Homo-oligomer: A and B are copies of this chain.
Amino acid sequence: MDLDFVTKLVKKNNSKIVLILLDGLGGLPIEEDGFTELETANTPNLDNLAKKGICGLQNPIENGITPGSGPGHLGIFGYEPKKYQVGRGVLASNGIDFNLEEGDVAARGNFATINEEGKINDRRAGRISSEKNKELCEMLCEKIKLQGVELFVKTVKEHRFLLVLRGKGLSGDLYDTDPQEIGKRPFEPKGFSNNTEKTVSIVSDFLRQAKEVLKNEHPANMVLLRGFSQKPNWPSFPDVFGLKSAAIACYPMYRGLAKLIGMDLLETGETIEDEFKTLENSWDKYDFFFLHVKKTDSYGEDGNFDAKVNVIEQVDKLIPNVTKLNPDVIIVTGDHSTPSILKSHSWHPVPILINSKYCRPDNVDKFGERNCITGGLGANFPAVNIMPLAMANALRLDKHGA
């Protein structure tokens, strides 16, 4: 759905919408005829929300397409993920609160290990410590001289860093230099649109000098770059939906995404309890809350079925802390599936429940993948329509046409 189309219909009232996003929520059974992580979890509170609400499976992008975290979230926020694309560089800069200026080019970097032939042995340089990373970033910044641009190299975490080039006439339309494969040489920088020559030449120069500076820093003796990008000029979420909006997330990536679309970032702690506590404490100040739970995805990626089940149960126990606040609309879903058996994001549609006074009841009384297939939202609900539907349930949309 076009954001413009929705924005024209927006009206304001005092209703509140809560989006509880369990990252990588959807799963798969590990045994034939077995249950998924969500189906296995004991979730009386989510089941109760499902029973009184409307359920379904939502499709983050399109059938068969596995979303990264960026597109997975953007879709749910109403931003068509194939139209609103954001590079890893920009996301990384948001994640560490680096203030990207218009025209800056950002890229996500990895410290990596190459052998004498220049081929990659380890794309993550043995996951060096963040302290070591910081030391190396400072060294790169200090020793590398680039003509006509200002250089920033900032630590993200472990082997990850942020590269920013600031200057005139730069472009973000460069391919990754990270081949994402061991035994290969890093790619030479290369543009995929017009007017990338200047940036390509500066990045080549940066890489040449970085290799020289790092030559005695084994295992971190090389850098790989991906996600070259520039700050996008998107409509802000609070403007689009007329919602004073807060993000409660502890991971930089998701804070970055929320910031990118103009949500306020609330300070919160490291645990899920902390996040729910933050929601309660800020209840009066916002119309919309995005509460992000990371560990469902992390354990999925680790292949740890039981731990993922456990996180879902932890969230379930905290649901009454939200329902007692009487939100007008509660949405529970994920940005994509991360089945433990695959140890990665997947293309499977994601269970969703929407609970409000005005949901038309369906026959789903348990929140799980199989049950959601026959929910009122259907088995293939477009993620970008979640926000419009939530807005409708909050009675925040006028009708279209006479």
Q: Are A65 and B374 neighbours in the complex by a CB distance under 8 Å?
A: no
Beta-carbon nearest neighbor of A399 in chain B: B66
Beta-carbon nearest neighbor of A108 in chain B: B402
Q: Are B62 and A361 neighbours in the complex by a CB distance under 8 Å?
A: no
Question: Considering the complex, which residues of chain A in the window 126-140 have a beta carbon less than 8 Å from any beta carbon of chain B?
Answer: none
CA distance A70 to B400 in the complex (A): 9
Given A36-B360, A81-B400, A375-B373, the answer on whether A388 and B5 have CB atoms closer than 8 Å is: no
Given A385-B63, A392-B64, A392-B66, the answer on whether A374 and B373 have CB atoms closer than 8 Å is: yes
Among B65, B358, B361, B399, the residue within 8 A (CB) of A392 is B65
Q: Are A69 and B360 neighbours in the complex by a CB distance under 8 Å?
A: no
Complex interface: chain B residues within 8 A of A33 (CB) = 361
A82-112: CB near B (< 8 Å → 1, else 0) gives: 1001111001000000000000000010000
CA distance A91 to B402 in the complex (A): 9
Pick the most buried of A70, A72, A378, A385: most chain B CB atoms within 10 A of its CB.
A378
A228-265: CB near B (< 8 Å → 1, else 0) gives: 00000000000000000000000000000000000000
Interface flag for A300 (CB, 8 Å): no
Q: Are A373 and B382 neighbours in the complex by a CB distance under 8 Å?
A: no
Pick the most buried of A81, A370, A387, A390: most chain B CB atoms within 10 A of its CB.
A370
Q: Are A373 and B380 neighbours in the complex by a CB distance under 8 Å?
A: no
CA distance A322 to B88 in the complex (A): 43
Complex interface: chain B residues within 8 A of A28 (CB) = 358, 360
Q: How far is the CB of A228 from chain B (nearest CB, A)?
A: 12
CA distance A361 to B339 in the complex (A): 13
Complex interface: chain B residues within 8 A of A374 (CB) = 373-374
Q: Are A360 and B348 neighbours in the complex by a CB distance under 8 Å?
A: yes
Interface flag for A49 (CB, 8 Å): no
Complex interface: chain B residues within 8 A of A382 (CB) = 63
Beta-carbon nearest neighbor of A336 in chain B: B399
Interface flag for A299 (CB, 8 Å): no
Q: Is the interface of A mostly helix, strand, loop or mixed?
A: loop
A163-183: CB near B (< 8 Å → 1, else 0) gives: 000000000000000000000
CA distance A30 to B205 in the complex (A): 69
Q: Are A389 and B347 neighbours in the complex by a CB distance under 8 Å?
A: yes
CA distance A317 to B356 in the complex (A): 35
Complex interface: chain B residues within 8 A of A401 (CB) = 67-72, 81, 85-86
Beta-carbon nearest neighbor of A28 in chain B: B360
Interface flag for A144 (CB, 8 Å): no
Q: Are A67 and B360 neighbours in the complex by a CB distance under 8 Å?
A: no
Complex interface: chain B residues within 8 A of A397 (CB) = 64-66, 347
Among B1, B36, B341, the residue within 8 A (CB) of A62 is B1
Pick the most buried of A33, A348, A382: most chain B CB atoms within 10 A of its CB.
A348
Pick the most buried of A82, A91, A374, A377: most chain B CB atoms within 10 A of its CB.
A374
Beta-carbon nearest neighbor of A68 in chain B: B401
Among B62, B87, B370, the residue within 8 A (CB) of A362 is B370
CA distance A114 to B379 in the complex (A): 53
Q: Are A385 and B52 neighbours in the complex by a CB distance under 8 Å?
A: no
CA distance A81 to B398 in the complex (A): 16
CA distance A64 to B54 in the complex (A): 13
**A/B interface sample: 19 pairs, CB < 8 A:** A5-B65, A6-B65, A62-B385, A62-B388, A63-B381, A63-B382, A63-B385, A63-B389, A64-B397, A66-B392, A68-B400, A68-B401, A70-B401, A108-B402, A341-B358, A347-B389, A360-B369, A376-B379, A378-B378
